Structure 1
Amino acid sequence: MENKKLEFKLIKNYILKKYGSDLVFKKNNEGKIIIENKEINTIFFNMHKYLYFINLSYFLMNGEDLFDEEFRAYKNGSYLMALKQSGLYSNEQEFEKINESTKFIIEKTMDKLKSLSSAELMEMNHTEIAWTKAKNFDYSFQTTISLKEMKERIVQMPMYKRYLNSLELPVESSILNV
């Protein structure tokens, strides 16, 4: 079955529609976090991590990225420049473009991530090997995080099997079943 890449905005809006009430004020009554003396909307900060881990889950199950937009390595974790440029809210609502197996991956990933604080998401992101490799950077958003480049190494690392198991995604159907 050939998978067509989706626009990240569609995935982002699917997350907001399905989980929005669980996400916006999580862990902080004001819905804000402070990073480097800047107040940042928690959902915006976390959305970068949600999209990264959804893409990682999809990659582990299918051997390819879910969408074309690139993540960049930043000291607070993965950062999707396209999300910064487009903003948190957009009109893409054609959820029928997301097939059932992709929705399953999104939902399994979000069921695990939605209860994590921003700090926990950032820490989880910092242990991920593609981010770790890409972090030899100067925090200028220039270093792209590439799962494709790391694929050979990823399939050999037990942490990714544990990650899929924690999401209750079938390792035997993934690229890790070698």
Structure 2
Amino acid sequence: MSVGRLVTSTLVFVIATCLIIYVETAPKKRNYVLQVTRVDKPYGDGKYVSFKSLKAAKFNRTMSVLKGTFSFLQDIPEDTTVVMETYQKIGGGNYGKGPIALPETSLCNFIAADDLVYAEISRCTGLPRKCPLKKIDINIDNYDINKSNLPPELPPPNEWMAELNLTHKKTKATMLSIRLYFTIEHKGNAG
């Protein structure tokens, strides 16, 4: 359907996938509520991505969604690199580096080799399972995290931030940087 969903889905599903890797076996019922609270205004060098809007919105008491409109202004180079890191709130509005990260990889390797995260992105957006990603206009309308892909338990309750960066390998220019903020609360503590 859209590259916008690629970007937001990538971030959300990379977070979920990385969290799965670091979580021990747990009860089958989810013991937490995960809510996206905000998205910082994405930025980049302006040559590849143009943003009109991107935000997190409360859909109802238990669900937040992503909404937005933006465009990939040209085909994304095959040697683009992808990096994702998470950060946990440590107080005073500061975040410390978290234990969960997606090491730097090429966008094409990510698309070709990732059978969980990118497979879901492709299913949701209609994007191809091969490079290159083409120029496209994107509209994200009330996109909800597919919680069925999340593990039964997640890291400790807290405020978290995940940052996804696409970088042009040759020029080192930041093509896209997006920060997604979310909370994890245990169901007993969640409102």
After TM superposition, is the score higher than 0.5?
no
Q: Pick the structure with more helix per residue.
A: 1
Q: Pick the structure with more strand per residue.
A: 2
Per chain length, whose mean CA-contact separation is higher, i.e. which structure has more relative contact order (CA < 8 Å, sep 6+)? 2
Report the TM-score, using the length of structure 1 for normalisation: 0.30
Report the TM-score, using the length of structure 2 for normalisation: 0.29
